[in-house]
Amino acid sequence: MRLADKVALITGAASGIGKETASLFAQEGAKIVAVDLNDSDGEKTVSEVNSAGGDAIYVNANVSKSSDCEHMVKAAEEKYGKLNVMFNNAGIMDSRDDNAQVTEEEVWDLTMAINLKGVFLGCKFGIPAMQKAGGGSIINTASFVGLMGAATPQVAYTASKGGVISLTRELAVIHARENIRVNALCPGPLRTELLMKFLDTEAKKQKRLVHIPMGRFGEAKEMAKAALFLASDESSYTTGTEFVVDGGITSAYVTPE
Ligand code: NAD
């Protein structure tokens, strides 16, 4: 088992990438602290993990709140005695997010609070726990849009993910000699609720698919497998990376028809 004896905290575990990761990490031997705001779906993740023979607890936390992030890390230590893996994965894409002129400050602030400050707070409270544990692996979910401009305007989302990548690099450098690795996972467009609620017609899907060399959306399960590599000791020399898992989208350009 690739995560035997490890304790992993996963935010955004009620849905999409976080849910699939909770299940995969548990199959690989990790004890799971599943964190979300959506209690019913978060509890569902945990009951599925536990009925498949895993060991998981659910913790309600809003990652944009300092006291909640402190609480979720404490809950991990109280239940399982330590923290080895922190997957700062919760995020939102607000339907009102647009270009700079149109996007309201409220949308900017909310997006930054969850997508960027949420990652900062996870690290703020997760890192001391990892120092106590003798090291660990932090995975911060960014996005391919943090590496390039998105064709569909969503300035707050894109800027928040760029911030996650920069924060990740700096923390990786600061904590490298403490045996704490910090990597950003940069997914391409995925077939999860977050994106599909916007791409709700075949025409909209096709407009996006034309940019993806593989010609399909990624699956949450495929991100879980990448997160597993970053969480496990197999990635022991990997830190500060933008770990891109995107069907080739960041390598492609499209000539308009
Ligand atoms: P999802 O909507 O399926 O899951 C996100 C989860 O985060 C939900 O369970 C939600 O309840 C939770 N969440 C939202 N705000 C929260 C908060 N303040 N505190 C705690 N939990 C909160 O989306 P997903 O596709 O699995 O996205 C996971 C991550 O991947 C996000 O950071 C997203 O930006 C990123 N991402 C997604 C895509 C994509 O195409 N879906 C692409 C690149 C990056």
Residue 190 Cα distances to 59, 80, 92, 128, 198, angstroms: 26, 32, 14, 33, 12
Residue 209 in contact with ligand 1 by CB distance below 6 A? no
Note whether residue 234 is domain-resident. Answer: yes
Q: How confident is the model at residue 257 (pLDDT cuts 50, 70, 90)?
A: low
pLDDT of residue 49: 98
Residue 17 in contact with ligand 1 by CB distance below 6 A? yes
Note whether residue 199 is domain-resident. Answer: no
**Structural domain harbouring 166:** 7-188+219-242
pLDDT, one tens digit per residue, over 99-152 is 999 999 999 999 999 999 999 999 999 999 999 999 999 999 999 999 998 778
User: What is the CATH number for 63?
Assistant: 3.40.50.720
41-227-142-23 Cα dihedral, nearest 10 degrees: 0
Best residue for ligand 1 mutational test, from 9, 10, 11, 17 (most atoms within 8 Å of Cβ): 17
Sheet (strand 31-36) strand order: 56-60, 31-36, 7-11, 85-88, 136-141, 180-187, 242-245
Note whether residue 203 is domain-resident. Answer: no
157 is annotated as an active-site residue: yes
Asked if pLDDT for residue 16 goes beyond 90, the answer is yes
Q: How confident is the model at residue 96 (pLDDT cuts 50, 70, 90)?
A: very high
Note whether residue 87 is domain-resident. Answer: yes
What mean pLDDT comes out for the span 242-249?
A: 97
Residue 247 in contact with ligand 1 by CB distance below 6 A? no
Q: What total number of domains does the chain contain? A: 1
Q: Whose CA is nearest to atom 17 of ligand 1?
A: 62
What mean pLDDT comes out for the span 153-165?
A: 97
Question: Of the listed 58, 157, 237, 253, which one is catalytic?
Answer: 157
What mean pLDDT comes out for the span 214-224?
A: 97
Note whether residue 252 is domain-resident. Answer: no
Ligand 1 centre to CA of 177 (Å) is 31
Note whether residue 254 is domain-resident. Answer: no
Q: Which one is predicted more confidently, 193 or 256? A: 193
Do the Cβ atoms of 147 and 165 come closer than 8 Å? yes
Cα(80)–Cα(20) distance, integer angstroms? 21
Q: Whose CA is nearest to atom 24 of ligand 1?
A: 16
What's the 3-state SS for the chain?
CCCCCCEEEEECCCCHHHHHHHHHHHHCCCEEEEEECCHHHHHHHHHHHHHCCCCEEEEECCCCCHHHHHHHHHHHHHHHCCCCEEEECCCCCCCCCCCCCCCCHHHHHHHHHHHHHHHHHHHHHHHHHHHHHCCEEEEEECCHHHCCCCCCCCHHHHHHHHHHHHHHHHHHHHHHHHCEEEEEEEECCECCHHHHCCCCCHHHHHHHHCCCCCCCCECHHHHHHHHHHHHCHHHCCCCCCEEEECCCHHHCCCCCC
Note whether residue 109 is domain-resident. Answer: yes
pLDDT of residue 253: 82
Residue 97 in contact with ligand 1 by CB distance below 6 A? no
CA angle, 178 then 239 then 132, to 5°: 25
Residue 111 in contact with ligand 1 by CB distance below 6 A? no
Ligand 1 centre to CA of 251 (Å) is 24
Site of tokens 């350009």: 253
What mean pLDDT comes out for the span 60-73?
A: 98
In sign, the C-alpha dihedral spanning 164, 166, 170, 176 is: positive
Cα(209)–Cα(204) distance, integer angstroms? 9
pLDDT, one tens digit per residue, over 167-217 is 999 999 999 999 999 999 999 999 988 889 889 899 989 988 999 999 999
Residue 218 in contact with ligand 1 by CB distance below 6 A? no
Amino acid occupying residue 148: M
Residue 99 Cα distances to 117, 156, 217, angstroms: 21, 9, 24
